[in-house]
Amino acid sequence: MTRDKKPYMKLADIKETLRAEVIVGQDKLDLPVETGCASDLMSDLLRGPTNGAVLLTGLNNIQVIRTSVISGVVAVILIRDKKPMPEMTSLAVEHGLPILSTPFTMFSSCGRLFNKGLRGVE
């Protein structure tokens, strides 16, 4: 859970913790994730500092992908088993942005990751 004393989780750890399905980014499970954020409000993300963070969201549209790219989010987790639209998937592939889908709710997903040591963007 540490790398040069800086806490982080690999995307693979997040996948396991959230029992998530990888929709985009099967080849990126080694990706280090430094922080987490959870929001359905895209302007909250843009307020930062979300560089290097994983995003948990219940919002399921193409703006999630564009907002993530703009705000430096490194992976998107859709909660409650939501699956992305085809246009979201292709845009995420284009930008190399992993998308995972977890059966857990927003609250439970955040709690599980926090319990594993992942902290929020502050």
Partner 1 sequence: MPELQRNFKVKFNDFMKAGDVSIQIQSILKAIGFDPDLIRRVSVCAYESEMNVVMHGGDGDVSLIVGPKDITVHVRDDGPGIENTEQAFQEGYSTATHEHREMGFGAGMGLPNIKKSADTVEVNSKKGKGTHLKISFNVE
Per DSSP, what are the bridge partners of residue 76? Answer: 55, 99
CB of 61 to partner 1, least distance (A): 6
C-alpha 19/C-alpha 25 separation (Å) is 16
Map the footprint of partner 1 across residues 37-96, applying CB under 8 A: 40-44, 46-48, 51, 59, 61-64, 66-67, 69-72, 87, 95
Cα-based torsion angle of the residue sequence 11, 13, 19, 20 in order, rounded to the nearest 10 degrees: 0
CB of 51 to partner 1, least distance (A): 6
Which residue has 């193409």 as its token pair?
Answer: 62
20 alpha carbon, distance to own chain's centre? 11
CB of 103 to partner 1, least distance (A): 22
Per DSSP, what are the bridge partners of residue 37? Answer: 55
Nearest CB to partner 1, comparing residues 63 and 105: 63
The residues of the shown chain that bind partner 1, judged by CB under 8 A, are 40-44, 46-48, 51, 59, 61-64, 66-67, 69-72, 87, 95
